[in-house]
Structure 1
Amino acid sequence: MNRSESRYFATAARMDEAFLTLLAKKDFEYITVKEICEVAGVNRSTFYLHYETMSDLLLESVSRMNEQFLACMEKDSDAFSAKLRNCPRDELYLITPDYLTPYLSYIKNNKRLFRTATENAAVLGMDKSYDRMFRHVFTPILDRYGVLQQDRPYIMAFYIRGLMAIISEWLKNDCADSITFVTGVIQQCVKMPQSETTNAV
């Protein structure tokens, strides 16, 4: 990375931090480009060099936080996948507490950002973001159940959108319910019924 590129990304990082600082104090719809620029110490032309709209800045902030979470989780991904492949069938959930607890904690700690993101999910394409977040969890479990490859996109779409709906409802309630409670609700919704998996591998 040359010096010009370094300055470009450093400026973007300052605006991102300014956005998160303001978001901790007020709702997204009340944050202006002028405020972002004042807090970040840049001018309006610099903002528009990086982003076309405030929604672009929101998307970048959410993407950055999801990347940070994935980087953290992927450190233990091999052990996590091995556990999914080897645990007893009656303990096999499509989403486990080992994954949900840190992710829900992460959301709760950044609830204003994620609430704003879910409220603008269609614009931001959040379904694609969640698809990436949970794909490496679903894949070994669908392998265990012997689910056909042609069926998997539909099954994953069903579960991912359901997860998004539960998390969105939790955020609407300001994450008032405990993480343990929300984890239990999600597991009730996504555990594969044994009657449907009798012949699975």
Structure 2
Amino acid sequence: MNKSESKYFNTALRMDEALIALLEEKDLGYITVKEICRQAGVNRSTFYLHYETIADLVDEALEMINRRFLSYFPQQEEDVLGNLGSRNRDELVLVTREYLLPYLRFIRDNKKVYRAAFRNPGSMGANARYRELKQRILGPILERFEIPAARRPYYIAYYIEGIAAIVKEWLRQDCADEVEMIADIIESSVRPRDGSHEK
């Protein structure tokens, strides 16, 4: 990357971060180009050099967030999932620490993004973010449990919404509790244990 590309990238990154900070305070429909420029420390002509509309900036910010998110999951999908068809049913759970710990670390390290996503779920593509989880992990496990296809969306909704509720509460507390504790809470909600993890 040469110097001008680096400057262009850094300016775009500042605008991404400015949008995320503003989304934490208000809905997307009320955010103006002027506010984004003021927050990012750039002028309007710089904004329009990079984007035609705020929607273009939203798309770029989501792409940046997704790249950042994937970097928290070092394992290949096959390593995490293993061979679902050959695993015993009692080894299969919809949510495990393999996914939870990196996911929760990402949330803790990107609190502003998640507060903005909960405040503006449509504009931040929250449903799209869960699409991969539904298709690649939850769907195949429910199929392995022989849950009828018509019932699967309800099971998936239950798990996704339940985890989201715990994450929202954690964010309300500024992620003060340890990642491992939140993972324990989510795991015990999915697969109740004898209480040995409670402290």
Fold agreement, TM-score > 0.5: yes
- Aligned CA-pair RMSD: 3.7
Report the Cα offset of residue 192 of structure 1: 8.5
1:36 Cα offset (Å) = 4.8
For 1:15, the equivalent position in structure 2 comes to 12
Shift of residue 183, structure 1, vs aligned partner = 0.8
For the pair 1:45 / 2:45, whether they are aligned, the reply is no
C-alpha distance after superposition, 1:20-62 (max 9, x if no partner): 278679954499222255348953433651x336xx6456424
In the alignment of these two chains, the number of paired residues is 182
SS in 2 for 1:108: helix
Q: Is the 8 A contact 2:15 2:36 kept in 1?
A: no
Assess, with a 3 A threshold, how the Cα gap between structure 1 residues 67 and 153 changes in structure 2: closer, same or farther.
farther
* 1:32 corresponds to which of 27, 35, 41: 35
Report matched runs for 1:59-74 at 5 Å: 60-70=60-70, 73=73
The amino acid of 1:33's aligned partner reads: I
Matches of 1:108 and 1:163, distance apart in 2:
15
Q: Distance in 1 between matches of 2:140 and 2:23?
A: 41
Alpha-carbon separation, structure 2, partners of 1:138 and 1:192: 18
CA distance in 2, matches of 1:161, 1:92: 20
Question: Which runs of 5 or more structure 1 residues have no equivalent in the other structure?
Answer: 1-6, 194-201
DSSP 3-state at the match of 1:147: coil
With over 3 angstroms needed to count, the CA separation of the structure-2 counterparts of 1:183 and 1:108, relative to structure 1, is: same
Does the 8 Å CA contact 1:62/1:113 hold for their aligned counterparts? no
TM-score normalized by the length of structure 2 = 0.70
In structure 2, list runs of 5 or more residues that go unmatched. 194-199
Runs of 4+ in 1 over 6 A off after TM superposition: none
- Of Structure 1 and Structure 2, the greater helix share is in 1
CA deviations on 1:62-90 (whole Å, 9 max, x unpaired) are: 44322443366375111211165555544
Q: CA deviation at 1:136?
A: 1.7
TM-score when normalising by structure 1: 0.69
Q: Secondary structure at the match of 2:54?
A: coil
1:85 and 1:133 map into 2 onto residues whose CA distance is 18
Aligned mates of 1:15, 1:116 — CA distance in 2: 19
Partner in structure 1 of residue 196 of structure 2: none
Measure how far apart 1:147 and its partner are.
1.3
- CA drift of 1:185 comes to 1.4
Percentage of matched positions with identical amino acids: 29
Q: Hey, what's the Cα distance between the residues in 1 that align with 2:108 and 2:83?
A: 26
